Amino acid sequence: MIAVVTGAAGGLGAALCRVLAARGYEVTGVDVVPGAAEILDVTDPAACRDLAERLRPRVWINNAGVLAAGDVLGQPDADVRRCVEVNLLGVINGSRAAARVMAEDGRGHILNIGSLASWVPVPGESVYAATKHGVRAFTLGLAAELKTSNVKVSLLCPDGIWTPMLHDRLRDGHAALSFTGRRLLDAPRVASAALDLLDSGALVASVPRTRGAQVRALGAVPELWLALTPLLNRIGAFNQRRLARTRR
């Protein structure tokens, strides 16, 4: 069985490649930087289609993502554009390409990597959170459209993961809300949860589950979440300082 993982050069993508290979998949990890099996720009829909048609994968994981942290009004236009194109359009492009060949082949599973930011406002990471909200909406809509086919679609929403995306954010106050958990997740744990989701065929899962349930509940009352934001920012900033000391 063939599996494709985007954003595979490091971090969660590399961990996903390892757990899939251990399960017996023939894995093709793709990225725009060296370290992946093939080069693929997920913002290029034609390139995604070409790859899907050539490999005809059984599993396609849309993992590629970038973090845009900062004051929305002050963020460079190029950073905003790249975040939206990679995080949201990349998922849409990959999903459409994979779904087309999977529907032709009569089976397949698309797994999109979202975030706990898919459920709540995230001041300081508003653009990033907007893309993850979009990923959630797109995944649920696509799942409904493919319901009568043998193509499954799932969404995994992890908490903050200690990967290169956050390595350089320990002193970035705008990214404090990414550090509000008791501890950052490690990539192998999230990759294992992704494999569990592929096995179960469930629509949505969060890592960790309890924190996911809390965030989803608070997401239903955004005014309460925003009222808690100053406290959450302080917690996140404290955790950033603690990590900065221990990760030297």
* Six-digit token string for 184: 């950052």
* Six-digit token string for 231: 């406290």
Q: Is 25 in the active site?
A: no
Q: What value does the CA radius of gyration of the chain take, rounded to a whole number of Å? A: 17
* Six-digit token string for 173: 């106050």
- Residue of 119, 128, 179, 225 marked active site: 128
Query: Residue ranges of the alpha helices (H) in the chain?
Result: 11-23, 45-55, 77-84, 90-105, 126-145, 164-167, 187-200, 209-219, 222-246
Distance CA 107, CA 57 (A): 10
Helix (H, G, I), strand (E, B) or coil at 184: coil
Contact 91, 34 (CB under 8 A): no
Beta strands 151-158 and 2-6, pairing class: unpaired
Cis peptide before 208 (omega within 30 of 0): yes
Cα torsion angle, 228, 242, 65, 215, sign? negative
Q: Which residues are catalytic?
A: 128
